[in-house]
Structure 1
Amino acid sequence: MKKLALLFILMFTVTISAQSKYQNGMKKAFSHWEKGEMVKAFQLFERISKAEPKKWKPAYYAATVEILASFGLKDEATLKAKLTKAQEFLDVAKSNSENNPEILITQALLNTAYIAFDGQKYGMTLSGKNAQLYAKALAIAPNNPRVIMGNAEWNMGAARFFGKSTKPYCDEIKRAIKLGKEEKIEEEFYPKFMIKRAEQVLKQCEK
């Protein structure tokens, strides 16, 4: 009986140690991100993802960092390399969390990075896919502020491209901000709504 108790304690201690290592690693990766150290953040999320292949969040954040770093790039080969790597991590995240609205809208963001680089080359094939991704995400999580915000920004971008007003989407951004302020996230390391950024987008929308 004592041996069984000792074995249980040992297993429990190992589990706690592994959880602590994961949590500390994730916190350090977010710290790099907040400091603008994108490469360090990506590398750490990448290592955590490989160490924790059944968790969706490390792979999701590795993909997100690579996608954000791809905006503004001028070289297509560099862009493709970053987004191909990001897609690999998104696929890992998808395999561990099916029909996850956070992953769906990040897939749309990845597509948007291609479109932003060359709208004529990538817009025709990816614009329709983005509309489907946002529609699916909204069907799953109609009150998710990140989903609402992402969809509104996508529609605003399309409106600007066609020379139309972005004002019709201001109410959706206001709704996203309201929901973002009310949202209570209990799941550790779950994506959070960026209220300040949303408020900046709202100012641009209302112009």
Structure 2
Amino acid sequence: MKSIKCFLTSLLLLFSIVLSAQDFAPVVQNVNKAQRVSDYIQVRSQLERFLLAQPQLSLATYYLAYVDIQLSLVTPDVDKKTKYLAEAETYLNKFSELKDIDKSEFFTLKGLRLYALMALDPQINGPKYSGEIVSAYATALAINPNNPRAIILSALFKNDMAKYLQQTYDNFPKDIEKASALFAAQDSMLLTPTWGKSWVVFALSKK
């Protein structure tokens, strides 16, 4: 009898996790469609509610960090930018402490947050964070060479640095092509990070 109860408890737990995953998919789609500050604020509220209801889903923590980074990039208020980036760091730290996370995605998001910090004050933060940004993307790609988010963000940063030094990043077109192909092949229905296609569009405008 005891074994049956344990089995039923495990089954109910598994069912709740699957159900929560199904419920979370539309939230991820909303994140990927967000463009304006109001869009990100709305989806951020959805993520916070979801994290309270389903704290075992690490992707909610991951996406809260991502949304905070995006908010820092699109909001014009400097104080709010700083606030969002501080909150993004908190969520990233929480995500890094969870079990069985995708470390390639963690380092990619870490690099993007550092890039957003650099964008706050390029003259001061550029020399301060550029090495860490390169290292974060390199680590992400060492873990997973086919991470399209790491590929395109690394390519954009290397291309910008090359232009700043009046040089050329020769692999930029190849990196864009590879990232684009990987994004096209990814399954948007899977509960894994799927953001980043907009960065390919941005990269194409800089070719």
State the TM-score, normalizing by the size of structure 1: 0.81
CA spacing shift, 1:32–1:135, aligned 2, 3 Å: closer
SS of the residue aligned with 2:149? helix
Q: How does 1:70-149 map to 2 (within 5 A)?
A: 70-96=72-98, 97=100, 100-149=103-152
Segments of 5+ residues of structure 2 without an aligned counterpart are none
Of 172-181 and 148-157, the range deviating more from structure 2 = 172-181
* Structural RMSD (CA): 2.8
Distance 1:98 1:31 in 2: 20
One-letter identity of the residue aligned with 1:16: F
- Measured after TM superposition, the shift of residue 166 of structure 1 is 5.2
Is the Cα contact below 8 Å between 1:145 and 1:193 reproduced in 2?
no
One-letter identity of the residue aligned with 2:155: A
Is the Cα contact below 8 Å between 2:21 and 2:191 reproduced in 1?
no
CA spacing shift, 1:204–1:99, aligned 2, 3 Å: same
One-letter identity of the residue aligned with 2:25: K
One-letter identity of the residue aligned with 1:121: I
Specify the structure having the higher radius of gyration (Cα). 1
Residues 1:177 and 2:180 aligned together: yes
In structure 2, what is the equivalent of residue 40 of structure 1?
A: 42
- Per-residue CA deviations over 1:6-31 (Å, capped at 9, x if unaligned) read 6633552354135313531x234234
Segments of 5+ residues of structure 1 without an aligned counterpart are none
Of 140-149 and 87-96, the range deviating more from structure 2 = 140-149
Q: How does 1:147-186 map to 2 (within 5 A)?
A: 147-165=150-168, 168-183=171-186
- Measured after TM superposition, the shift of residue 110 of structure 1 is 0.5
In structure 1, what is the equivalent of residue 25 of structure 2?
A: 27
SS of the residue aligned with 1:29? helix
Q: How many residues align?
A: 202
